[in-house]
Structure 1
Amino acid sequence: MEAASMIVLMMVAVASGLVAIEVKVECNVLKVQQKKTEHFPQFHILFLQPLVAAVDGQPSDAAALFEKASQSIKVKKYSEALENLNAAIETDPGLSEAYWHRASILRRFCRYEESEKSYKKLLEMKPRNSAAEKELSQLFQAQSALDSAKSLFDSGDFTKALEFIEKVVLVFSPACSNAKLLKVRLLLAAKDYSSAISETGYILKEDEDNLEALLLRGRAYYYLADHDVAIRHYQKGLRLDPEHSELKKAYFGLKNLLKKAKSADDNASKGKLRLAVEEYKTALALDPDHTAYNVHLHLGLCKVLVKLGRGKEAVTSCSGALEIDEELIEALVQRGEAKLLVEDWEGAIADLKSAAEKSPQDMNIREALMRAERSLKLSQRKDYYKILGISKTAPMSEIKRAYKKLALQWHPDKNSDNRAEAEAKFQEIASAYEILGDEEKRTKYDSGEDIDEGMGMGGGGFNPFGGGGQQYTFHFEGGFPGGGFGGFQF
C-alpha cells in the first residue's frame, strides 16, 4: 500500500512540480490530503479510481484481463478465460490477440459461428495472417465433420460417423460437449458399451450434473445388464430434473422389465408354466435389443416350453439364447431335449454331444446324450406298430386281428397282378407279428433292446419267400373268408 502512495506522489510531482498531496491508508480507507488545492483542485479524482481498482484486485485494463485469460487457458479453465477475453475486448476493441484467443476457445467448444466472427475480425485487423487463416480453415473442417457425423448417425452408418466425430473431438474441438455426447450415442448404437461408459465418465468429471451424460451412461450399464448401476444413474438425473422425459422413460422401462422377468421366474418355479410362458414373451418384447439380459429370458422360456412338451417352440427359444451366447451349455442341453420332442434325433445328438464336450463331468448331460442316441437307433428300425396300423398300447387281441386282416389283404396268392409288392408287404406284416405277437419279444422291442432274431433290426430281416429251406406257417382260426386257407405254409 505504501508503494501505491509513492506512485501517486511521484505523478503529482511530475505534473505540477510540487509534492502537494499526502495519501494515507487507515483501516483500508484511502485518505487524500491536499496542501495547496487552489493549484489542482481535481487531482485526487483523476488518480483515485485506478488506485482503488488495484486495491480491489480486479484490474480493469485490457492487458491485465488478457494476461488473466492466458493464465486460465494454461490450466484449461476455458470458460473463465472466455469471460476475461470478452471483458478485454470490451475494454480495448483493438486488442487483436484477444480476438485470436477467443476464436480458438470458441472453436474448442464447437461454437463455430461465433468463432468464425472472431477469426474474421482478427483478419480485418491483421490481413493475410497465415496462422489465423489456417485456423479458420480448420474451423470449417470441424464444422463439416460434425455435420457429416450427425447425418451419418441419422442414416445408421455408425462406423463412418465415428470416424468423423473423432476428428471433431480429438483434433478440432476437444471441449465440444455436443460432439462428445454424439460420440457416446454412436458408441451405444455400435454396442461398444464399455467405451461409452469411459467417454461419459470424462464428461461427468467435468460436469457431474450433465443430464444427458447420466442418461447415456445409465443406458450403457443397462445394456451390459448391470441394472443396479443403471438405475442409480437414472435416479440421480431425475433428482436434478424430475420431469426429464428420456430419463423417466429409461427408469420406468427398466423397472417394468425387471418386474415382468421376476414374475415369469416365480411362476415357472411354482409350476404355473403356461402363465410363465406368456410373461417371458411379454418381457422379451419390451426390448428386443437388450441381448445381455434377453439371453436369460430366452433360456427360461425354452425350459418351460420343454416341460410343456412344446418342442418346436422350445427349439426356437433355445436357438434365440444360443444366437446371443453360443457357449451357453444349458441352452444347448435344453435345445437337445426340445429336438427329442420333435424327433430330430440327429440334431439332439449334435447339441448334447457339444454340451458334453464343454462339460465332460456332467453326468446328466451324458445320460441325455445316451437317450438321444438310443432314440436315433430306435428310429432307424421298422415301426412294427405302424406296419400293423395299431397303437403302442394295443392289447394282444387287437394285434392278432390287425395281423389277420392285413395278411389276408396282402397275401401274394390274392395279389397276382402286383405279386412282388404284395410279397414285400406280406413279409413286413409277418415280421411285425413275429415280434409283437410274442409278449417277451414285444417287451424287448418296446424298451429298445435288440431282438435276437434280427427281424427288422438290420440283420437281413424276415423273408417267408427266401431260400435256405426255412418255413413259416400262418394259422388263422376258421380259415380265410371264403374258405380254402384253413392253414397255409410256405
Structure 2
Amino acid sequence: MDPCRRTGLSGVLCSFSLLCVLLDIQLDGVLGATHVEIEHHLEMGRKLLAAGQLAEALSHYHSAVEGDSKNYLTYYKRAAVFLAMGKSKSALPDLTRAIQLKPDFMAARLQRGNILLKQGNIPEAREDFEAVLQRSPEDAEAKEQQMRSYELEDLQEEARAAYHQGDYSTTISVLERVIEISPWDPESRELRAESYIRMGDPQKAIQDLTPTTRLRNDNRAAFLKLSMLHYSLGEHHDSLNHVRECLKLDQDDKGCFSHYKQVKKLSKQLDSAEELIHMERYEDAIDKYESVMRTEPNVLYYTNLAKERICFSYVKLKFAEEAIDVCSEAHQRDPRNTNILRDRAEAYILNQDYEKAVEDYQEAREFNGDSQDIKEGLERAQKMLKISRKRDYYKILGVSRSANKQEVIKAYRKLAQQWHPDNFQSETEKKEAEKKFIDIAQAKEVLTDPELRQKFDAGEDPLDPENNQGGGGSQGWAHHFDPFQSGGSFHFKFQHN
C-alpha cells in the first residue's frame, strides 16, 4: 500500500515530504552536472580566447556565468573577452560585478579604473586607482593612471575655458591630448566637433561626431547634427541615413522628423533628376533641377549642382545660347569646376565660337590635366578653330551646328540661287560666284552626309586634301566635285533630297 494514501493533514504532509525528497535528488544531479559543465565552458573559453576566436569564447563565458552567478572570476574573464572585442561598455558591468563579489580583487579594480578614465569619468576612475594604491602603494600602473586622471582634469578645464573665449584653435589643440587619454569620452569629441564647425571644417567635425553615436546609448542630437553636416556638404544620401538612425531611436523626435522630410524630398528630386539625364530626357531634367533650387535655396552646394547639370542638359539639347548663359553663371559660382568648363566649351562649339571653346578646355586642363575627356575635347576644339580659319561649312551655309538635314538643304538652295554664276555678267564676278558656289555645294555635301558631317564635327575637314590622300568613295568625289570643271555652261538644277 502507498504510504501516502491517507486522508487529511497527514496525507498532505506525506506527499509534500516525498516531493521534497524527489526535488533534492534532482537538484543534486543538476548541480553536479552544472559544475562539470561550468569547468568545461571556462576551459573552452580560455582556449578560444588564446586562439583569438573571441565570439566563440564569449559564448562559453556566457554559459559559465549563467551556470554560476557567484563566481567573480567568470565575470572577470568574460569582461576580458568584451575588452578584446572592443566592447568596453559591456565589460564594465562584469568588472563591477566581480568587484562586488570580491571587493579586494585589485586586478578588476585597476581594469575598471582604466575603462572609466578612457570614458572621461575621472572621479570614479580615481576611486579605483586609490583603492589599488591603498593595498599596493608601489603599483606602477595605478600610480601612472592616477597622475593621468589629474592631467585630464586640468586639460578638460583648459579646453572648456578656451572654447568659451572663442579660441577654437587652442580648444582643438588641448582636446587632442584629452582624447588621447580618454578616447571613449563623447563630451570631448562633441566639443572638438563644435570647434571644427566654428572654424569652418565640417569634415573633421563629422569624424569626431561619428563615434559619439556609439559612445552614448541614445545620441539623437549627434545623429541630427551629422545629418545636417552631410546635408550642408551635398551628401544627401548620408544625411538621410543619419536622420533615419535618429528616428529609429525616437520616431516622434520633432527636430529629426522635420529635417527628415526636407532631406527626403530633396534627395528624391536629385535622384529623379539624374535618372532623367540618364534617360536623355534633358528638358524634364532641367525642370527637376529647377525644383531642387526651389526646395533648397539656402545651401549653395545644391544650387551650384543644379546650375551645373542644367548647363550640361542645355548642351545635350544643343541650345547653345541658353547653355552659354547658364554655364557662365555656374562657372562664376564654381570657377574650378572642370565639368562646367567642359560643358561651356561644348556650348561655344555649338555657337561656332571656337576660340572661347579652346580657352575653356585649356583652363579645364590646368585644373585636371589627367582627364582624357578634357584632353580629347581640347584637341577637337583646336582642330575646329584651325578649320574655321580656312572654311567652316556651317558658316558657309549660315546654319547652326544643330541644324537638321532639311534646314541645311533649305539654306543651300537659297544660297545656290543667289550665287549661281549665271546671275553675274562680268568675268570677275562669275569667277567669284563660281568659287562661292563650289563652297556652298561642298558644304551641302558634307552636312547632308552623316559620315562626313560626323568627321567635320569631330574637328576634321573631310574635303581637305591632307585628310583624303588617295581617298575614294563619297569623300573623294566630294573633294573633286566642281560643277564648272567641263568649262562649258553649267545649267543649275535643284536636287530634291
Band the TM-score falls in, shorter-chain normalisation: 0.3 to 0.5
Question: Normalising by the residue count of structure 1, what TM-score does the alignment of the two structures yield?
Answer: 0.46
Could you say which structure has the larger radius of gyration? 1
> Greater share of helix residues, 1 or 2?
2
